[in-house]
Amino acid sequence: KNEVEQSPQNLTAQEGEFITINCSYSVGISALHWLQQHPGGGIVSLFMLSSGKKKHGRLIATINIQEKHSSLHITASHPRDSAVYICAAFSMEYGNKLVFGAGTILRVKS
């Protein structure tokens, strides 16, 4: 069983659509990260959260600690949002390190 699971694996959306990417994890965590990886390979940290909700521009991340689940939402999606979105969990039960999901490949068409 994967420690951090993401869904969907692939997502194609039309420009302007509301997008949701889901992440579930199997142990208690101290923080969950949402990361963005562009085709060139570089990784950008979008959010780190341990409870509730965070918002940055058109991006919103939520986490439900009891359900061990987090979501990343993109409002009014744009082709420049096309990237791989990765969640990663930080937990002492994982050995005090980040454990990464497989990523969701998002393509936003104009």
Which positions lie near other proteins, rule CB under 8 A?
31, 33, 35, 40-45, 47-48, 86, 88, 95-103
**Number of residues that make up the chain:** 110
Q: Residue 37 is which amino acid? A: Q
Cα 49 to Cα 71: distance, rounded to the nearest angstrom: 11
Minimum separation from the CB atom of position 101 to other proteins (A): 7
Nearer to other proteins, 14 or 51 (CB): 51
The 10 Å Cβ neighbour count of residue 89 is 26
- Sheet strands (E) in 26-82: 31-37, 43-49, 52-56, 59-64, 69-74
Nearer to other proteins, 33 or 70 (CB): 33
Minimum separation from the CB atom of position 33 to other proteins (A): 6
Nearer to other proteins, 41 or 67 (CB): 41
Minimum separation from the CB atom of position 32 to other proteins (A): 11
Q: Identify whether the C-beta of residue 18 lies closer than 8 Å to the C-beta of residue 32.
A: no
Nearer to other proteins, 41 or 57 (CB): 41
